[in-house]
Amino acid sequence: MPGLAQEVRRLDAQRNPIVPPTPHPSGGRPPTLPTEAKPRHTAIVMDGNGRWATSRGLPRSDGHRAGGEALADVVHGALEIGLPHLTVYAFSTENWKRPADELNALMDEIPQRLRRLANDTAPLNVRLRWAGVRGPLPADVVAALTDAEHATRDRTGLTLTLCVNYGGRAEIAAAAANIARDAAAGRIDPGSVCEHAFARYLHVPELPDVDLLLRTGGDQRTSNFLPWQATCAELLFLDTPWSDMDRRDLWHAMEEYARRIRRCGSIPRIPAQPTSPTGPR
Ligand code: IPE
Ligand code: IPE
Ligand code: MG
């Protein structure tokens, strides 16, 4: 017998069936790449919104709004090309240093963006996750994040993790503090803390290692983004500001990734050459 919650979810799904991604207006289609040539986990520093707006004589908040549109298109493109994990840096713990009017604009934009992404009238097969801490986040932003996580928890397509009020060092420090607490309380043996055990204390423990870390906006730094998860990530820096990005830029990034040789401490897999015992020496 299915439980009540399961039945409610089934009826919900009947009312609002998952819709496929809408094609890009240009008619562009994603490149065909074998699964093993695509990153399992792509992480993006969505940077350059402010400069995009300023260079057009617009307020920075317009850049963040355009950035929200860019994210929606990139999510459609990620579904089309078949990415399993996409993680985006939306607001860092360092971003609180910005002026109040920009912070207000960002805190208005995040719930709106989430509503569009978790859209309950035409839902995509996207599971939303939040990585970050509550800290001074407004209550409606926290509610939008946790509601979106809850509403999309059964979706099986793309896992889209939004890093909001996220800081990589803070994530690692919080994990260490929780491990120390569990060890002091006798819940874990300090001798059992290996990398694998440590990772279970991160904000989203199921997040796989990052294969491709992409930053838009022309700067070449990672700004405290996923230091634990991205130790062996391929880095790709694009000059395009995030607000100008669309899914076709994501697909180009996938083609670039497919050309990279991933060693991660090992040696590259080179197809075996046929050898002839009588051939030239
Ligand atoms: C990224 O764009 C969005 C956030 C950091 C919230 P920026 O706002 O940093 O844009 P630039 O780098 O100033 O152009
Ligand atoms: C990184 O961009 C954070 C986000 C994209 C959310 P920043 O613009 O805040 O990073 P810095 O200041 O260039 O390091
Ligand atoms: Mg920036």
In degrees and rounded to multiples of 5, residue 11 shows phi and psi of: -65, -40
Nearest ligand by distance to the CA of 222: 2
Confidence band of 121 (pLDDT split at 50, 70, 90): low
Q: Is the dihedral of CA 78, 80, 81, 85 positive or negative?
A: positive
- In this prediction, residue 1 carries a pLDDT of 52
Q: How far is CA 35 from CA 32, 196, 247, 254, in A?
A: 9, 25, 18, 11
Say yes or no to pLDDT of 281 above 60: no
Distance (angstroms) between ligand 1 centre and the Cα of 217 equals 8
**Residue 256: pLDDT band by 50, 70, 90 thresholds?**
very high
Residue 3 — pLDDT band, cuts 50, 70, 90? confident
Per-residue pLDDT band for 169 (boundaries 50, 70, 90) equals very high
The pLDDT assigned to 217 comes to 98
Residue 152 buriedness (CB in 10 A; 0-12 / 13-18 / 19+): buried
- For residues 167-173, give the mean pLDDT: 98
pLDDT digits (tens, 9 = 90+) for 36-59: 999 999 999 999 999 999 999 999
Residue 252 pLDDT: 98
Q: In this predicted structure, what is the pLDDT of residue 279?
A: 45
Indicate which residue's Cα is closest to atom 10 of ligand 2. Answer: 223
Q: Please list every protein residue whose CB sits less than 6 Å from any atom of ligand 1.
A: 46-51, 91, 95, 106, 217
Kindly list the protein residues that place their beta carbon closer than 5 angstroms to ligand 3, a single-atom ion.
47
Is residue 47 part of the annotated active site? The answer reads yes
Each residue's pLDDT tens digit, 206-230: 999 999 999 999 999 999 999 999 9
Region of 135 please: left (phi>0), alpha (psi -120 to 50) or beta.
left
Average the pLDDT over each of 48-52, 78-82, 118-122 and give the range with the smallest value: 118-122
Is it true that domain 34-166+209-259 has CATH number 3.40.1180.10? yes
- Amino acid 5: pLDDT: 66
Nearest ligand 1 atom to the CA of 91 is 6
Collapsed DSSP state (helix, strand, coil) of residue 98: coil
The reply to whether ligand 2 has any atom less than 6 angstroms from the CB of 166 is: no
Average pLDDT of the chain? Answer: 92
Residues 105-130 as b/e (b if ≥16 CB within 10 A, e otherwise) read bbbbbbbebbeebbeeeebbebbbbb
> Cβ neighbours of residue 199 under 8 Å, at least 6 residues apart?
205, 228
pLDDT band, residue 202 (cuts 50/70/90): very high
pLDDT at res. 14: 60
**In the prediction, which pLDDT does 93 show?**
97
Identify which of 15, 98, 25, 16 has the alpha carbon closest to the alpha carbon of residue 64.
Answer: 98
Task: Tell me the Ramachandran region of residue 22: left when phi exceeds 0, alpha when psi lies from -120 to 50, beta otherwise.
Answer: beta
Structural domain spans, the chain:
34-166+209-259
Q: Which helix (H) or strand (E) holds 236?
A: strand 234-237
280 CA from centroid of ligand 1 (Å): 59
State pLDDT tens for residues 88-105: 999 999 999 999 999 999
CA–CA separation, 133 and 136 (whole Å): 9
Residue 13, pLDDT score: 61
Of the residues 12, 62, 95, 154, only one is catalytic, namely: 95
Average pLDDT of span 159-188:
98
119 annotated active-site: no
Q: Rounded to the nearest 10 degrees, how much is the dihedral formed by the CA atoms of 58, 92, 225, 247?
A: -40
68, 113 contact by CB (below 8 A): yes
**Rounded to a whole number, what is the distance in angstroms from the first to the last CA of the chain?**
72
State if residue 222 touches ligand 2 by the CB under 6 angstroms criterion.
no
